[in-house]
Amino acid sequence: MTDNATPSAVASQRIATLIRDQILDGSLAPGERIRQEEFAERFGASRIPVKEALRLLESDGLVTLVANTGAWVSRMSEEECAEAYQIRERLEPLLLHESMKNLDDATIDTLDALAFEMESCTDVETFLRLDRQFHLLSYSAARTASLAEIIQRLWNSTQHYRRAYTLLVGIEHNQITHNHHHLIVDALRRRDADDAESALVSHIRRTRSELARHPEVFG
């Protein structure tokens, strides 16, 4: 499971990737309007591929289209976000399990290094990037493509609130998170799937309850 690697030769897919990246890195905020003509000009294309890209992003849940009216970056409610975390809690352990079957030791070493790097990083954006990288890498050996795709979509659609939460509470008092990561690496190293799954469930469940404790993130 890799982070949208191939820059497609097809314009509509390339544009979809560019807009998706802007939504994920926060430069396009929820509720912001996306005008076809403006983005077409920005990407040096006509409105047709932009329109197709917007439909793709709509089916990803990142963009909301209203017929004859326009497109906006989707605004996710607190309930929808909780729902995404509930789904992740059931699916990500399965994906981790599938991935563990094929994970090699070198990748586990990299995961270990990432967990420590995260522990000593000092800014929010780096933390978010490393955290995403850690989990996606832990899933990277799974052969279950559609499962990986569902989960990547869930990560994407909740990315905004992960950032908002992290910005709100800071990254100083995150030892529990780091502990979870180390537990996961340890379980993977021992090839103990049940243990890895349960550590991951705890990890995701904790984030869900943390978000529930900080409703101001959704304000």
First to last CA, the chain: 33
3-state secondary structure at position 72: strand
Q: What is the 3-state secondary structure (H, E, C) of 87-150?
A: HHHHHHHHHHHHHHCCCCHHHHHHHHHHHHHHHCCCCHHHHHHHHHHHHHHHCCCCCCHHHHHH
Nearest CA-CA partner of 158 in 28, 37, 61: 61
Q: Would you count residue 32 as binding DNA (CB under 7 A)?
A: no
Q: Would you count residue 147 as binding a second copy (CB under 8 A)?
A: yes
Q: Are 204 and 94 within 8 A, CB to CB?
A: no
Q: Which one, 21 or 149, has the nearer CB to a second copy?
A: 149
Please give the residues from 159 up to 218 whose contact with a second copy meets the rule CB under 8 A: none
146 binds, among a second copy, DNA, none (CB under 5 to 8 A by kind): a second copy
45 binds, among DNA, a second copy, none (CB under 5 to 8 A by kind): DNA
Contact string (CB under 7 A) for DNA, positions 61-100, x = contact: ----xxxxxxx-----------------------------
Residue selected from 79, 104, 123, 172 as contacting a second copy according to rule CB under 8 A? 79
47 binds, among a second copy, DNA, none (CB under 5 to 8 A by kind): DNA
Q: Would you count residue 145 as binding a second copy (CB under 8 A)?
A: yes
Q: Which one, 12 or 159, has the nearer CB to a second copy?
A: 12
70 binds, among a second copy, DNA, none (CB under 5 to 8 A by kind): DNA
33-34/70-73 β-pairing: antiparallel
Q: Would you count residue 106 as binding DNA (CB under 7 A)?
A: no
Exposed e or buried b per residue across 77-110, where buried means at least 16 C-beta atoms within 10 angstroms of its C-beta:
eeeebeebbeebbebbbebbbbbbeebeeebbeb
Please give the residues from 92 up to 111 whose contact with a second copy meets the rule CB under 8 A: 94
- Token pair for 24: 């994920």
Binding site for a second copy (CB under 8 A): 8-10, 12, 48, 51-52, 55-56, 59-61, 67, 79-80, 83-84, 86-87, 90-91, 94, 143-147, 150, 157
